[in-house]
Amino acid sequence: MKKWFVLHRKEWLEMTRNYKVIWIPLIFVLFGLMQPITSYYMPEILKNASNLPEGSVIEIPMPTSGEVLAQTLGQFNQMGILVLVLAFMGIVSSERKSGMLKAILVKPVRFSSYITAKWMSAVLLSVGAIFLGMLASWYYTVLLIGDYPFMNIVKGTSLYLIWIMFLLTFTVFLSTFLKSSGFVAAFTLLLSILLTLLTSLFEKYMEWSPAQLTNAAASLFISGKLEGPLMLPLITTVILTALILYLAATRKSSL
Amino acid sequence: MNFEINWALVAPLLVIQAILMIIALFDLTKTEKTNGPKWMWVLIVIFINTLGPILYFIIGKKHS
Amino acid sequence: MELLEVKSLTKSFGKHVAVNDLSFSIEEGRCVALLGANGAGKTTTLEMLASLQKPTNGSISFLSVEKRDYREYIGYLPQYPVFFPWMNAIEYLVLMGELSGLSKSKAVARANELLELLGIADAKKRKIGGYSGGMKQRLGIAQALIHEPKLLMLDEPVSALDPVGRREILELMKLLKETTTILFSTHILHDAEEVCDDVIMIHKGELAVTASLSELRRKHQEDVIIISADENLDAWAGSIENWNIVSKVISTNNKIEIYVKNVAEARNLLLVEITEKKLPITKFTVGQTSLEDLFMEVVGR
């Protein structure tokens, strides 16, 4: 256990030295702030952009606070996932390529400690970054658009983070055996897009899909209550995540 | 544009973009090798808003 | 005492057999050279001993216990040591020390001690990314020694270094072998002869010779007298071939190599011959063959 913390601490030191600890949260905060600001100025931007005759009135309903927050979540689900997957695609593969993996495993260290310490660092940084981003978004939404209950933010974001954890675990898993980091990113993004797409196309058959968690979080933001399937996707996602992590942590043959 | 921009509101965005740019430039001065010429990355980081520094952090740095 | 025993170790990658039915043992306190040409299977063997590769077949026992995780007792220097370039030497050694099971304070103390011993203490706060090849090699040895292992394994520790660096590392190994059992691989016989006690020669993944250096010398090293002359002495060379003190005569151009059984006696007899027959010699050298011949025989067959 002590060695696990040593490995985990090394990950944080590395993420500090290459500034991941700063730039990843900053990007999420930036996305988080951008959404309410854009929504707030949208009517005026449209008014200025279109050459409408003088006196014509355009009605653009201001979105509700919940809608803006759900849009932020949508932004995180596209650009945010892209950033996280690209940031962590080489988490294991780059060390295997450089030979560092061997340098570490020649010491009395369990492969599972090595993997889970890395996994935990990626998860913690991502969770922190997404929470900060949602917090920033919530603050600006309240400021510009209207009051919104804080607890809903916590609940919705937590739900969404389970989906993110699932994708991060998949990234780590692929990174343990794929030679190229690029393939790791490509396959993880493919999985994310495919699951999201299939879930919206075949809602009936995809109730179990981890991507349902995004929908659940969005509906919680918009209407304040959970709509659609929740328990089923929650259980499948947790089980799948645990299974993938287990496979990643025991694939020692991939040295 | 003839509508008022509340600068107090937009300032945090600009600050974050500035921080990203400064960190990327600082890292550029310290690293010896980048993927592709260094001056190109300096231009990308300075002139491509937000995305420039991110691109540098993800694909500009050499990891070996 | 037997530190490590390897029995019919085999590793194959698909059809290619890298290491085939290799058996040997390493006594505690010895310095052992794993000698072989490039591609003989040295690195694969060492990596299996370091638990970095799984043997296809065979067994490895450490201190007479089979199938145990003995990684805490070994230090390993790979052929091309790698580090985290963003760390400095102290940070790296402390990390490796803690991963080897040392406490933080013990690791710090040990790291400083080793950096001093290896002569890179001046650079300990500098990022490893900026280190030269020789410095990296030293840091690599330091990380292998951090937890005072019972067995130190070095994969080609000197082959990538310049003559000065090579000399320094060989001297260091002489120092280390006083306290630690060492197994190192090399393709250069001369390096092996200089520091090791025992030799394990492998060829195409198979064991060729395993013996102590002194035993090898006794068995394979011969006394030789080399005579150079102004003119061709082939006729004379033929005449001494059947002396019972001479085992073999090789005559090329104006040089005769005479392999002898008793060097003192042969020298006197030959000198008498030379004066009696007034042979126009220019050079008379008494010496020994090197193990190079044995090595070439093993590697070349």
Using one digit for the tens of pLDDT, what is the confidence trace for A208-248?
999 999 999 999 999 988 887 889 999 999 999 999 999 99
3-state SS class at C33: strand
Question: Hey, are the CB atoms on C86 and A106 less than 8 Å from each other?
Answer: no
Give residue-wise pLDDT tens across range A20-64.
Answer: 999 999 999 999 999 999 998 887 777 777 666 666 666 677 889
Distances (CA, A) of C72 to A116, C29, C31, C143: 21, 18, 20, 13
Residue B32: list chain C partners with CB under 8 A.
Answer: 129-130
Q: Retrieve residue C5's tokens.
A: 């025993």
Residue with the bigger pLDDT between C165 and A139: it is: A139
Tell me whether residue C215 is in a domain.
Answer: no
If you measure CA to CA, which chain C residue comes closest to A19?
C86
CB hemisphere CA count around C250 (13 angstroms):
5
Contact A181, A90 (CB under 8 A): yes
Tell me whether residue C216 is in a domain.
Answer: no
Residue C52: list chain A partners with CB under 8 A.
Answer: 102, 105-106, 255
Contact C227, C284 (CB under 8 A): yes
Tell me whether residue B13 is in a domain.
Answer: yes
Contact A76, A31 (CB under 8 A): yes
Number of domains in chain B: 1
Give residue-wise pLDDT tens across range C21-66.
Answer: 999 999 999 999 999 888 889 999 999 999 999 999 999 999 888 7
Residues of C with CB under 8 A from a CB of B: 85, 129-130
Give residue-wise pLDDT tens across range C117-157.
Answer: 998 999 999 999 889 888 999 999 999 999 999 999 999 99
Question: Hey, are the CB atoms on C85 and B32 less than 8 Å from each other?
Answer: no
Q: What is the CATH number of the domain that holds C253?
A: 3.30.70.980
- At A254, the pLDDT band (50, 70, 90 cuts) reads very low
Within an 8 Å CB–CB cutoff, is residue A135 touching chain B? no
Tell me whether residue B4 is in a domain.
Answer: no
Contacts of C203 (CB under 8 A, 6+ apart): C36, C37, C40, C298, C299, C301
Same domain, C138 and C251: no
Number of domains in chain C: 2
Give residue-wise pLDDT tens across range A124-182.
Answer: 999 999 999 999 999 999 999 999 999 999 999 999 999 999 999 999 999 999 989 99
ipTM of the complex: 0.89
Give me the residues paired with residue C10 across strands: C57
Q: Which domain holds residue C93?
A: 2-207
pLDDT (average), residues C210-234: 84
Same domain, C176 and C116: yes
Question: Hey, are the CB atoms on C52 and A105 less than 8 Å from each other?
Answer: yes
pLDDT the model gives residue A248: 94
Question: Hey, are the CB atoms on A33 and B13 less than 8 Å from each other?
Answer: yes
pLDDT the model gives residue C60: 93
- Give, for A80, the enclosing helix (H) or strand (E): none
pLDDT the model gives residue A137: 96
pLDDT (average), residues A184-206: 93
Q: At what angle do helices A81-88 and A20-49 cross, to 10 degrees?
A: 150
pLDDT the model gives residue C26: 94
Q: Which of C207, C239, C268 delimits the end of a domain?
A: C207
Nearest CA distance, C86 vs chain B (angstrom): 10
Query: Could you tell me which of A5, A10, A63, A13 has the C-alpha nearest to residue A39?
Result: A63
Tokens 């104006």 belong to C254
Q: Which of C173, C207, C241 delimits the end of a domain?
A: C207
Q: Looking at the whole model, is its pTM more than 0.95? A: no
Nearest CA distance, B58 vs chain A (angstrom): 6
Tell me whether residue C255 is in a domain.
Answer: yes
C-alpha C298/C-alpha A76 separation (Å) is 65
- At A252, the pLDDT band (50, 70, 90 cuts) reads low
Tell me whether residue B15 is in a domain.
Answer: yes
pLDDT the model gives residue A99: 92
Within an 8 Å CB–CB cutoff, is residue A29 touching chain B? yes
Question: Hey, are the CB atoms on A98 and C82 less than 8 Å from each other?
Answer: yes
Residue A26: list chain B partners with CB under 8 A.
Answer: 16, 19-20
C-alpha C75/C-alpha A108 separation (Å) is 10
Tell me whether residue B30 is in a domain.
Answer: yes
Tell me whether residue C230 is in a domain.
Answer: yes
- Produce one character per residue of C62-77: b if its CB has 16 or more CB atoms within 10 Å, e if not: beeeeeeebbebbbbb
pLDDT the model gives residue B35: 84
Tell me whether residue C64 is in a domain.
Answer: yes
Query: Could you tell me which of A184, A182, A155 has the C-alpha nearest to residue A169?
Result: A184
> Per-residue confidence of chain B (64 residues) as pLDDT tens digits?
455 677 888 899 999 999 999 999 999 998 878 888 889 999 999 999 888 999 999 888 775 4
Same domain, C186 and C240: no
C-alpha A103/C-alpha A107 separation (Å) is 7
pLDDT the model gives residue A255: 54
pLDDT the model gives residue A20: 95
Tell me whether residue C139 is in a domain.
Answer: yes
Per DSSP, A90 falls in state T
pLDDT the model gives residue A214: 93
Tell me whether residue C213 is in a domain.
Answer: no
C-alpha C175/C-alpha C186 separation (Å) is 18
Nearest to A6 among C50, C51, C95 (CB): C95
Query: Could you tell me which of C289, C282, C214 has the C-alpha nearest to residue C254?
Result: C282
Nearest to C100 among A17, A105, A107 (CB): A107
Same domain, C27 and C61: yes
Same domain, C96 and C235: no
Q: At what angle do helices A181-201 and A212-223 cross, to 10 degrees?
A: 60
- Produce one character per residue of C27-59: b if its CB has 16 or more CB atoms within 10 Å, e if not: eeeebbbbbbbeebbbbbbbbbbbbbbebeebe
C-alpha A68/C-alpha A191 separation (Å) is 26
Residue B20: list chain A partners with CB under 8 A.
Answer: 23, 26-27
If you measure CA to CA, which chain B residue comes closest to A87?
B58
Query: Could you tell me which of A196, A146, A142 has the C-alpha nearest to residue A166?
Result: A196
- Produce one character per residue of A81-118: b if its CB has 16 or more CB atoms within 10 Å, e if not: bbbbbbbbbbbbbbbbbbbbbbbbbbbbbebbbbbbbb
Within an 8 Å CB–CB cutoff, is residue B57 touching chain A? yes
C-alpha A188/C-alpha A238 separation (Å) is 17
Tell me whether residue B56 is in a domain.
Answer: yes
Residue C83: list chain A partners with CB under 8 A.
Answer: 100, 103
Give residue-wise pLDDT tens across range C55-113.
Answer: 999 999 998 887 788 999 999 999 999 999 999 999 999 999 999 999 999 999 999 99
Q: Which domain holds residue B40?
A: 9-60
Q: What is the CATH number of the domain that holds C61?
A: 3.40.50.300
Tell me whether residue C214 is in a domain.
Answer: no
Give residue-wise pLDDT tens across range C259-295.
Answer: 888 888 888 888 888 888 888 888 888 888 777 777 7
Same domain, C105 and C189: yes
